[in-house]
């Protein structure tokens, strides 16, 4: 009779342990996504810096090319296209950085929730263990 009383508690305990494992898996996935986002962010920062330097160099060349306009009109057009492409790359890198930052904030929130869920689950498991031990002592 006591074992029948323990069965629902054991099933509930197993479900809670499964939920905790699932939450830990979700946390691990979120950690991986953050790692990837941070890596992407670092690469994006390098790309942004390179793009800014290249834009500065391209603008410098464009200014010099205007001095000899007839000789370098074709080069000016190519540089203008390159500048637009670099500015598009810079814009994309800034967007990727913003997304990575947003993901980092989402991760922080998810981590807080996961920690809270884990804490509550551990407390509930401890209560159930105490209850199961008390029932086991009653059986003896």
> Domain segments of the chain: what residues?
2-9+27-139
Reference 76, options 67, 85, 88; nearest CA is 67
Does pLDDT of 87 surpass 80?
Answer: yes
Using DSSP, state whether 68 is helix, strand or coil: coil
Q: Report helix, strand and coil shares of the chain as percent, to nearest 5.
A: 100, 0, 0
pLDDT at 33 over 70: yes
For residue 1, is pLDDT > 60? no
Contact at 8 Å (CB) between 29 and 114? no
Determine the distance from the C-alpha atom of residue 90 to the mean position of all C-alpha atoms in its chain, rounded to a whole number. Answer: 21
Examine the pLDDT at 72 and tell me if it is beyond 70. Answer: no
pLDDT surpassing 70 at residue 69: no
Res 88 pLDDT > 60: yes
pLDDT at 65: 63
- For residues 36-60, give the mean pLDDT: 88
């Amino acid at each position: 009779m006591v074992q029948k009383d323990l069965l629902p508690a054991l099933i509930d305990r197993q479900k809670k342990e499964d939920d905790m494992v699932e939450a830990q898996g979700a946390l691990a996935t979120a950690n991986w996504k953050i790692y990837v986002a941070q890596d992407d962010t670092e690469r994006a920062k390098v790309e942004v810096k390179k793009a800014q330097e290249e834009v500065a160099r391209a603008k410098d060349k464009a200014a010099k090319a205007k001095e000899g306009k007839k000789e370098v009109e074709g080069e000016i057009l190519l540089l203008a296209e390159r500048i637009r492409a670099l500015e598009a790359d810079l814009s994309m890198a800034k967007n990727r950085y913003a997304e990575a930052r947003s993901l980092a904030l989402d991760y922080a929130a998810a981590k807080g929730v996961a920690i809270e869920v884990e804490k509550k689950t551990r407390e509930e498991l401890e209560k159930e263990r105490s209850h199961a031990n008390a029932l086991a002592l009653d059986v003896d």
